[in-house]
């Protein structure tokens, strides 16, 4: 008996979030900080192009240095909101301009996010008939038990949620998890044996950036020092 081949996922637009204040980076535009001879945003763009399920289109969300971002050959969107309201403003701009049913969001400061990110989020979104699929990593709680910890900026969402995003932002909301709780959201655990444990490690500070430049061992040491000081 012939079997029906699995249907392909709908087209996906990816959005690199580079529109923040960069407060912990001393106010510098984080996406343009250099790592291994290239700006951080370029590392994110390369990871998107290498995905096992490559997005059909790629955009950048940026509120400063627009010319520098446009020089990378990718369309650049700015928030329609003043005072850097956070990543949800980028979500809204991306959802409005994507032109595809789905939007994948990734931050500009995480240069090693999984190459299977888009595919695994898309599979979970379709299987659960969800509105959003969000990456999650195993983290230990106060009792030492491993529990999934959402990585909310790594998100695949239906662009039909733009109206909900608009209303939430207009009401003063800013939190991704608070907004996503209003919709059917599935957490996708990146906890397989072959998953890189630090794939979602972000470079928030100059020290973390210098450690990543120096190599994996120094990067891990800086991360431990940062965690112990929090």
Q: For residue 125, what pLDDT is reported?
A: 98
Averaged pLDDT for residues 138-144: 81
Q: What is the rounded distance in angstroms from the CA atom of residue 132 to the CA atom of residue 137? A: 16
Residue 226 has pLDDT above 70, yes or no: no
Residue 101 has pLDDT above 80, yes or no: yes
Q: What is the pLDDT of residues 15-72, one digit of tens each?
A: 999 977 666 677 789 999 999 999 999 999 999 999 999 999 999 999 999 999 999 9
Which runs of consecutive H residues, i.e. helices, occur in the chain?
Answer: 40-49, 66-70, 87-97, 117-127, 162-170, 176-180, 206-214, 216-229
Q: What is the largest CA-CA distance in the chain?
A: 63
Higher pLDDT, 56 or 2: 56
Place of tokens 């370029």: 42
- In three-state secondary structure terms, 149 is strand
- Which residues sit opposite 60 in a β-bridge? 16, 76
Q: Which of 133, 114, 137 is nearest to 123 (CA)?
A: 133
**Predicted confidence band of residue 220 (pLDDT cuts 50, 70, 90):** very low
């Amino acid at each position: 008996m012939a079997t029906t081949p699995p249907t392909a996922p709908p087209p996906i637009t990816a959005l690199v979030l580079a529109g923040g204040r960069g407060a912990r980076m001393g106010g510098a535009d984080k996406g343009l900080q250099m790592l291994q001879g290239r700006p951080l945003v370029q590392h994110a763009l390369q990871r998107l192009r290498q995905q096992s399920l490559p997005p059909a289109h790629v955009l950048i969300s940026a509120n400063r240095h627009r010319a520098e971002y446009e020089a990378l050959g990718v369309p650049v969107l700015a928030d329609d909101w003043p005072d850097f309201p956070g990543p949800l403003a980028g979500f809204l701009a991306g959802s409005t301009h994507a032109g595809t049913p789905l939007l994948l969001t990734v931050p500009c400061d995480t240069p090693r996010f999984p190459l299977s990110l888009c595919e695994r989020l898309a599979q979970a979104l379709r299987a659960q008939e969800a509105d959003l699929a969000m990456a999650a990593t195993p983290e230990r709680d106060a009792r030492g038990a491993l529990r999934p910890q959402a990585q909310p900026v790594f998100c695949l969402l239906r662009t039909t949620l733009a109206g909900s995003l608009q209303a939430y932002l207009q009401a003063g909301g800013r939190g991704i998890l608070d907004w996503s709780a209003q919709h059917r959201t599935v957490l996708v655990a990146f906890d397989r044996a072959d998953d890189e444990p630090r794939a979602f490690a972000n470079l928030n500070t100059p020290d973390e950036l210098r450690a990543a430049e120096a190599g994996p061992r120094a990067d891990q040491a800086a991360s431990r020092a940062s965690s112990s000081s929090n």
